[in-house]
Structure 1
Amino acid sequence: MSRTLPVQCPSCNEVMEISELTCPACDTRVQGHFPAPALLRLSAEQMQFVETFLRCRGNIKEVERDLKISYPTVRSRLNQVIRTLGYPVTQGPEDERMEQVLNALDKGELTFEQAMDWIREENTRE
């Protein structure tokens, strides 16, 4: 059974710190307060996306094929990862609208056909 490092406190949900490191070979221990790496803040789904993105060397077309998702969905997931890591996502108004449409589709607030109509309309404007 594989265990994962807990990153959020089960009591208050704050990000936890690493306070001890142990060498498995000689049992040397180092104690202190070490912040967890930013990547540990990612959810399991986000981490899987990042691994796929890296394996595809950042080629969005390959990520689309590998995960069987659309270009806007790849962009949306990438933006979510960037935000989770604490970086700002610079987007134009059309990017923000695309993300809103994708989120509405994900929540069931829009049908697939409605979302596709909006995407087609946006593509004819370009």
Structure 2
Amino acid sequence: MSPAPDAKPLPMPTRCPVTGQPLEVTRLECPESGVTIEGRFVPNEFALLNGEQLEFLRLFVRVRGNLKEVERLSGVSYPTVRLRLEATLRALGYEPANTAAGDTREEVLSALERGDISAAEAAKRLRAVRR
């Protein structure tokens, strides 16, 4: 059963609700012409971001990469903005260059307390701060 023509499309699920494994896109359809294409298609890396990461990226692009402006508009601290950027970069498959090198002990502990990073990630960053 097809949705009503004026129904708002839902976000594409990217993970299997049972196994958590990535889903494959196997069918594309043009609603106007009715043309359907079937095969195995790989979604681009942006389609695989979770909702929070996608919203962060939209804001980041909207303010042309100005992290201070992201901080102001999102109402979170600068270290939190940096951590969200780093998490989004990792989700896109890019390892942030020297991310731990710029962290202070306080930033790392603050991020751990907020739940932005795991204990293992905090330990790794704290070791880098001491160097």
The bucket for the TM-score relative to the shorter chain is 0.7 to 0.9
Secondary structure of the residue that 1:15 maps to in structure 2? Answer: coil
In structure 2, the CA distance between the partners of 1:3 and 1:95, relative to structure 1 (3 Å rule), is: same
Superposition deviation, residue 96 in structure 1: 7.6
Q: 3-state SS of the aligned residue for 1:32?
A: strand
Does residue 4 of structure 1 match 2:16? no
Partner of 2:109: 101
Aligned counterpart for 1:51 among listed residues 46, 58, 66: 58
Letter in 2 for 1:29: T
Between Structure 1 and Structure 2, the one with more helix by share is 1
Map of 1:89 onto structure 2 = 96
Work out whether residues 80 and 111 of structure 2, in 8 Å CA contact, stay in contact via their aligned partners in 1. no
Distance 1:53 1:94 in 2: 20
Gapped regions of structure 1 (runs ≥ 5): 108-121
Corresponding residue for residue 38 of structure 2: 31
Measured on the aligned residues, the alpha-carbon RMSD in Å equals: 2.1
Cα distance in structure 2, aligned partners of 1:58 and 1:67: 14
Query: How many percent of aligned residue pairs carry the same amino acid?
Result: 35
CA distance in 2, matches of 1:102, 1:85: 24
Instruction: Supply the distance in 1 between the matched residues of 2:79 and 2:106 (Cα, whole angstroms).
Output: 7
Distance 2:34 2:22 in 1: 27
Q: State the SS of the aligned residue for 2:59.
A: helix
Structure 1 residue 72 displacement after superposition: 1.1
| Distance in 1, Cα, partners of 2:38 & 2:104 | 44
Q: Distance in 2 between matches of 1:73 and 1:52?
A: 14
> Which of 56, 60, 72 does residue 65 from structure 1 map onto?
72
How many equivalent pairs are there?
108
